[in-house]
Chain A
Amino acid sequence: MRTPLSSGLAAASMGLLLLGLVLRSWQVLLLALPPMIVLALGSLAPPPRPRIVALRSLSADRTDAGREVDVELVVRNEGPSLDLVEIADVLPREFAVIRGTNHAVVSLEKDGTLRLAYRIRSPVKGDFVLGPVRARSFDPLALGAQDVVLDVRSPLVVAPAMEDLRRAALQPRRTRPWFGQVASRRIGPGTEFWGVREYVAGDEVRRINWKASARLERLFTNEYEGERSGDVVIVVDARRESSVGTEADNPVEHAVRAALGIADRVLATKNRVGLIVYRQVIDWVPLAFGRKQLYRILDHLVHVKPGGEWRVSHVGLVLSRFFPRDCLIVLITPLQDRDALTAVIELAARGYDIAIVSPSALEIERRIRPNTPEDQMAYRILAMERANRVAQLRRVAQVVDWDPATPLALALRRMTAWPRRA
């Protein structure tokens, strides 16, 4: 492949040649020689087609957003020696090279190797593929080049960063008949004292209330408030209109982060968690317990990208068919439209217990826009609209208005009881 420079030199040479002939000037004719000589020197040693092999190794094939991964690319020349070869390890555009380089221009002798070691980081989650490796061999005068693409690809899954919600009191209000950590307001196995009743055969000796038994001269047994588990369904709004801001700082990314933190927290307290994501498609993960369920949810959340134009009310269809009615629904939405308001009112009317975590798109937009008087005025109007919407929602659901620049745990701590008691 010829480069534009070689065409330029040929054209210049030809132009001077013709001008020299027209003017019948041997001096002008002579000026046609330098570009021709450079072209000739470049043609003496045309760049060979690179025959190279590459091997890439990663320090991890799964990582978290913002965490660094070390990459090592070893390239070996198995063909003729290459005067100049430019090698680039193609990265997805979400990745930034923190240390080292993924690109080099070197000379490679036959059987010579080049080792590129670099460190990358992605601020956003996703299921990425590193590669391919591109190599271009060119002659030192940049007149010709030969390209090859090596199909060396390495998958790298970047999980969303997790919100630390260890201190947040997240629990379903309604419980199911399985042991857990949610006070059920029923007598059962637990640690909170509930009352005293007369001893019956079979009661555990350690539950006998000895003080009451001594005073009344009959055996009495302590009763405790049963601790059970409940169901939580996390609904993530990843519609296109929810994506406001930059690639790393937008309500959908923050919603994913929040969903993962809430799922982790609720699963840790021995409850069942399910997930519904509405994006290009509405997909969901059925309710289940345990660590494995967290990984299942994480696997779904990694793939979430903004898209689709679903109405929020469609979520009700999935909820009514595939999830029990007595579960707590945690809807994570930036509340960009009034559609969410009507949908939440409908769900509440059907008897669902709803809590809303709303990453504020308004605050995100405010941070990235210039602070002109017009912007300030627009911000005030939109903030009033949002406050109005939140106030209406608070009649039927608990709402956490969250500025994503602050930790979610802080926003949740401002709530008195979460969700509120009926």
Chain B
Amino acid sequence: MAASRLMSPGLRWTPFAVLALLESWVAWDLLAVPDRRWITALALPFLANLVFLLLSRGAHRRWARWSGLLALGATYVVSHAFVLGIQVLPALVFVSLLIAQVELRILAERFAPLFLTTITSAQQRQIQLALLRALVRLTIASILAVVIPLLAADLASAGVVPVTTIPTALLLSAALVAVVLILALLPSLESKVEWGQRGVLGTADSSPSEGFRIERKG
């Protein structure tokens, strides 16, 4: 029981820890930028990211959370693409961590409240099993998200896959765009079922079994 009590705060704080790590990472990178004008330009999205994330924490606004993460990612990518230069492994780890942070937050929102309620050990086991399964999948996805691009980069730089010519580069880019589009547009076209409305009111009215009534007209 004590372990399950610790699960909830643990789940709740993990996404924050990952986010704090990412924020410090970007802040550290900003400190390494030599040009003052670039520092000023990059500090703006970074500060915007902090403001948005604080806003999302205080006002529970989803758009603020998304905007904060977007600003954080943009600060990192722009600073490295234009000033610091991109080192493949840390950059891939950063992007994977950013995705993992979002996934962890979703998992925490789903699972953390369940461990706060008084549930039977059988229910607890079922919920823990589901959480474990989700975490394993997330870990595998994160590892693959780093390893596959590294492998692709290795293969390309070793010349195994010839992408050094303009036609092959264009073909590869077109293929990547097509893959993204297919993945994005694949969704099953099921009608969206309204979810999460807890307040279905009881039928509060109104047909008493016996008796009489006068209804007011107009």
Contacts and interface: CB of A to CB of B under 8 A. Distances in A.
Q: Is the interface of B mostly helix, strand, loop or mixed?
A: helix
A33 B91 CA distance: 11
**Chain A interface size range:** 35 or more
Contacts of A14: 177, 180, 184
B117 A127 contact: no
Nearest to B149: A33
Main secondary structure of the interface of A (DSSP, over half): mixed
Interface string A346-381: 000000000000000000000000000000000000
Nearest to A144: B187
B66 A281 contact: no
A234 interface: no
A58 to B, nearest CB: 14
A165 B191 CA distance: 56
Contacts of A1: 187-188, 190, 192-193
A377 to B, nearest CB: 35
A4 B105 CA distance: 14
Residue among A144, A283, A308 with most chain B CB within 10 A: A283
A115 B121 CA distance: 12
B50 interface: no
A13 interface: yes
A39 B77 contact: no
B123 A104 contact: yes
A163 interface: no
Interface size class of B (residues with CB under 8 A): 35 or more
B180 A101 contact: no
Given A21-B173, A101-B117, A129-B202, A34 B149 contact: yes
B134 interface: yes
Contact of A92 (B95, B141, B148, B200): B200
Interface string A82-105: 011010101111100101110111
B218 to A, nearest CB: 12
Interface string B114-134: 100111101100110111011
13 contacts: A1-B188, A14-B184, A17-B176, A32-B180, A33-B149, A39-B183, A40-B179, A43-B183, A92-B201, A106-B130, A114-B126, A147-B193, A147-B195
Given A38-B99, A140-B137, A299-B209, 8 more contacts: A6-B184, A14-B177, A26-B153, A31-B77, A36-B176, A91-B200, A107-B133, A285-B208
